[in-house]
A and B are shown apart, each in its own frame.
Chain A
């Protein structure tokens, strides 16, 4: 296959961070607060902890077959046909999530910046950027962009947090636990857990890593950093809006809009939109690359770049298929992502593969 890509550990770190932060901070907060009220931050802590644990297993699994993607090592583990069949759910996930994220990004941009511009123009512009990012250099180009965009996002978020310190009321976090109880808190952990478990994409990305030793630490650090930022965001949101956040589409955007410093810094939510858009570019490009590269591997095609155009087309069609903002932003995660994708792709398949591999290797050593 054309193009042996090389990405470094710091690139893995920034890829993960810039991909996790954008969507998670934007979309999980409302869902968590709806269930767990002011205790949503405990839920998030819980959810991200589980996600980090899962990430640990993803990396462990991927490191058993260095230089191979899940498409390849599933065939090594389960044999050609079974291996090919078992990864099909991933394609469903990747193709649909590409369309869903695209739609979510477009919806968000549209809602916060536009009123009259046709939606397809926004979609096409985003697709052009994403296609360019993916086409010119594959994962290397995406990783390098993430290395620039990731720090920008983190720094900007920190600035946002500093600027909103004056509006915080720690009282709004109270009372802890009493209103909700462990069941609701656990339930509230689901959104952050499922969103952060997108790190399962590592099972493809780690194949391109140039030096394998530090893969575990950089992936886990990325998850920890994402968790801290997500936790920080959700606590900020609760400390400013209390449980009002459960009724807001994008609480973080509202928080940014609420920032007000000396008459001069106000209504800066447009800046936040830019931030989010940058994260969206990286995330979309990554899914585009992973989907097209894996498809090419699955079929044994020589050029993943040709496949890319197909994925782009499918993504665009999926974007149109979502009827309204509710379907893409609420129903897609709650009715597809949480009940199907998470248990199947993020838990079942990786663990089956890991288990079979451990057993097989064990047998091999004995015999």
Chain B
């Protein structure tokens, strides 16, 4: 997608682009009206302006975008027989407004505005006003399982491109009037509807205000995806770490809302933004809370280890092989030395080369058409890896290291956080290659310093680890069982108590029975 067909500059004022006639009141005269609207929608072949004589007495104009509006019922009304008298236009108006949510507008500009937002405008002759009917009918994709976030155990529905369906999916899970959905329109050209959603009383009011502020400050021609918004409202751009989470899963959004996060729905994107994001929430997968806690705790630790591996393994390998081989067990050292005999490149270059190849294969695998994509990437990896080792260009341990790292980097549940680790690998590699373990440590310290100073909408990115919030830290280190009474994240939510009232967990009840 691109923003190639940019119509107007970002800085220009809205008023300049609308012809002056748009401000004018609707004309009572039918023909004036028609020509006005035809002028407004000049060269818009998808916009239909139907001129009907209702009941053989009054002219009615129907204006809508072809295909996005359900006209059948309106047609039925307009075709219906009705006695002709003075009040005919009032009666028609009543009939129409009973059909769908409606509103009455007075100016041409408003008519145009609503029509391009996929509503139907009906102008009845001599009333000098227009009825706007919300009879939107979208061709949408059905609700499918999200392809990027797959859970073994958990709901199978995912967000679609339709804003309404998406908000419905969330509302369906949280039947509460506390769930607020504030609506905005963004983009001077695109007029994309977005919705800011939060649970009133749980999300911090100051944070919601901050989100509103930042969103209202955006001025852009078009929003074609939630990524636009993400980049425009995030705290800091010069960082590899994402400060806003995106998800395709309604259950993840609901869980986030319950923790006091704010969700931003954008029309025409299945990716819903969830903020604030912390480092540790990026390491939690959707199903963490639907599988049993012992297993998920184990999985979490596996994940932490793999994150460490994905960030440090290649640089550690280089540092150890080139600077401190005494760390390697003797027998392993001998076999690595054996494998490295005759390899023409220095270790650092070897690892860089393989990392580059790996990233290349991954990128190619993603972009290639589906049927050949996976085949090419697998075969490519095998052929290149195998052949390079056999030809003695690359040593086998390097291939093992790089592929382990590759696998590890995909174990990060949030794809965009995984990207951060993949990016940071390279500076670390250089540091390790020039200063060994010392350089690596210095690099790791820099990353740590950066992380602890990062914030996402006022919430420290590395919390609850630093600054330490003990009751929330438990939820990072292990996946606590529900009956332990999970505490709400103190920095995100207003609510201090646990999510299960302390006296009501199954254990206290059981104890009571025994007594």
| B453 and A11 contacting across the interface, CB-CB below 8 Å | no
B466 at the interface (CB under 8 A from A): yes
Measured CB to CB, the nearest residue on chain B to A10 is B468
Query: Given A132-B446, A267-B326, do A125 and B466 touch, yes or no (CB 8 Å)?
Result: no
Query: Given A263-B330, A263-B331, do A145 and B449 touch, yes or no (CB 8 Å)?
Result: yes
Query: Given A113-B437, A148-B462, A270-B324, do A132 and B468 touch, yes or no (CB 8 Å)?
Result: no
Least CB distance from B182 to A in Å reads 32
| B449 and A133 contacting across the interface, CB-CB below 8 Å | yes
Measured CB to CB, the nearest residue on chain A to B319 is A270
Residues of A within 8 A of B460 (CB): 144
Contact of A122 among B438, B452, B453, B467 (CB under 8 A): B438
Contacting B at CB under 8 A, from A143-174, are: 143-145, 147-149
| B437 and A136 contacting across the interface, CB-CB below 8 Å | no
Least CB distance from B436 to A in Å reads 6
* Complex Cα–Cα for A230 and B331 (A): 35
| A278 and B470 contacting across the interface, CB-CB below 8 Å | no
The dominant DSSP class at the B interface is: helix
* Complex Cα–Cα for A267 and B437 (A): 14
Query: Given A8-B467, A145-B452, A263-B330, do A278 and B438 touch, yes or no (CB 8 Å)?
Result: no
Contact of A113 among B329, B438, B462, B468 (CB under 8 A): B438
Residues of B within 8 A of A122 (CB): 435, 438
| B324 and A113 contacting across the interface, CB-CB below 8 Å | yes
| A145 and B466 contacting across the interface, CB-CB below 8 Å | yes
* Complex Cα–Cα for A117 and B468 (A): 38
B441 at the interface (CB under 8 A from A): yes
B397 at the interface (CB under 8 A from A): no
B323 at the interface (CB under 8 A from A): yes
Residues of A within 8 A of B465 (CB): 147-148
Least CB distance from A108 to B in Å reads 11
Least CB distance from A271 to B in Å reads 8
| B453 and A273 contacting across the interface, CB-CB below 8 Å | no
Least CB distance from B444 to A in Å reads 9
Interface size on A, residues (CB 8 A): 37
* Complex Cα–Cα for A189 and B467 (A): 35
A266 at the interface (CB under 8 A from B): yes
* Complex Cα–Cα for A149 and B441 (A): 12
B55 at the interface (CB under 8 A from A): no
B327 at the interface (CB under 8 A from A): yes
| A137 and B453 contacting across the interface, CB-CB below 8 Å | yes
| B326 and A11 contacting across the interface, CB-CB below 8 Å | no
| A117 and B435 contacting across the interface, CB-CB below 8 Å | yes
Residues of B within 8 A of A109 (CB): 438
| B436 and A113 contacting across the interface, CB-CB below 8 Å | yes
| B452 and A148 contacting across the interface, CB-CB below 8 Å | yes
Contacting A at CB under 8 A, from B417-460, are: 435-439, 441-442, 445-446, 448-450, 452-453, 460
| B438 and A263 contacting across the interface, CB-CB below 8 Å | no
Query: Given A148-B452, A277-B441, do A11 and B467 touch, yes or no (CB 8 Å)?
Result: yes
Interface size on B, residues (CB 8 A): 28
Contacting A at CB under 8 A, from B52-98, are: none
Measured CB to CB, the nearest residue on chain B to A265 is B329
| B448 and A121 contacting across the interface, CB-CB below 8 Å | no
Least CB distance from A247 to B in Å reads 22
Contact of A144 among B331, B437, B452 (CB under 8 A): B452
* Complex Cα–Cα for A327 and B102 (A): 86
Contact of B449 among A8, A11, A121, A136 (CB under 8 A): A136
A129 at the interface (CB under 8 A from B): yes
| A147 and B327 contacting across the interface, CB-CB below 8 Å | no
Residues of A within 8 A of B450 (CB): 136
| B468 and A11 contacting across the interface, CB-CB below 8 Å | yes
Residues of B within 8 A of A268 (CB): 327
Which of A129, A143, A266, A278 has the most chain B CB atoms closer than 10 A to its own CB? Answer: A129
Contact of B468 among A136, A147, A277 (CB under 8 A): A147
Residues of A within 8 A of B323 (CB): 113
* Complex Cα–Cα for A148 and B467 (A): 9
| A148 and B448 contacting across the interface, CB-CB below 8 Å | yes
Least CB distance from A137 to B in Å reads 5
| B467 and A147 contacting across the interface, CB-CB below 8 Å | yes
Residues of A within 8 A of B437 (CB): 113, 270, 273-274
Residues of A within 8 A of B462 (CB): 144, 148
* Complex Cα–Cα for A121 and B439 (A): 10
Residues of A within 8 A of B449 (CB): 129, 132-133, 136, 141, 145
Q: Mark A225-248, 1 if CB is under 8 A from B, else 0.
A: 000000000000000000000000
Contact of A141 among B324, B436, B453, B468 (CB under 8 A): B453
Least CB distance from B311 to A in Å reads 14
Q: Mark B453-492, 1 if CB is under 8 A from A, else 0.
A: 1000000101001111010000000000000000000000
Least CB distance from A31 to B in Å reads 26
| A125 and B324 contacting across the interface, CB-CB below 8 Å | no
A126 at the interface (CB under 8 A from B): yes
| A114 and B438 contacting across the interface, CB-CB below 8 Å | yes
* Complex Cα–Cα for A144 and B467 (A): 6
A95 at the interface (CB under 8 A from B): no
| A263 and B324 contacting across the interface, CB-CB below 8 Å | no
* Complex Cα–Cα for A267 and B324 (A): 10
Q: Mark A297-340, 1 if CB is under 8 A from B, else 0.
A: 00000000000000000000000000000000000000000000
A81 at the interface (CB under 8 A from B): no
Least CB distance from A359 to B in Å reads 39
Query: Given A132-B449, A144-B467, A263-B330, do A126 and B442 touch, yes or no (CB 8 Å)?
Result: yes
A264 at the interface (CB under 8 A from B): yes
| A133 and B445 contacting across the interface, CB-CB below 8 Å | yes
A94 at the interface (CB under 8 A from B): no
* Complex Cα–Cα for A267 and B330 (A): 10
Which of A122, A125, A136, A137 has the most chain B CB atoms closer than 10 A to its own CB? Answer: A125
| B439 and A125 contacting across the interface, CB-CB below 8 Å | yes
Measured CB to CB, the nearest residue on chain B to A274 is B441
- Given contacts A147-B467, A278-B445, could you give 11 more A-B pairs where the C-beta distance is less than 8 Å? A8-B468, A11-B468, A125-B438, A136-B449, A137-B452, A137-B453, A147-B452, A148-B466, A268-B327, A273-B437, A281-B445
Show 13 residue pairs from A and B whose CB-CB distance is below 8 angstroms, ordered by the A residue.
Answer: A8-B468, A11-B468, A114-B438, A125-B435, A125-B439, A125-B442, A126-B442, A136-B453, A141-B452, A148-B452, A266-B330, A270-B324, A277-B441
The residues of B with any CB-CB pair to A shorter than 8 Å are 323-324, 326-327, 329-331, 435-439, 441-442, 445-446, 448-450, 452-453, 460, 462, 465-468, 470
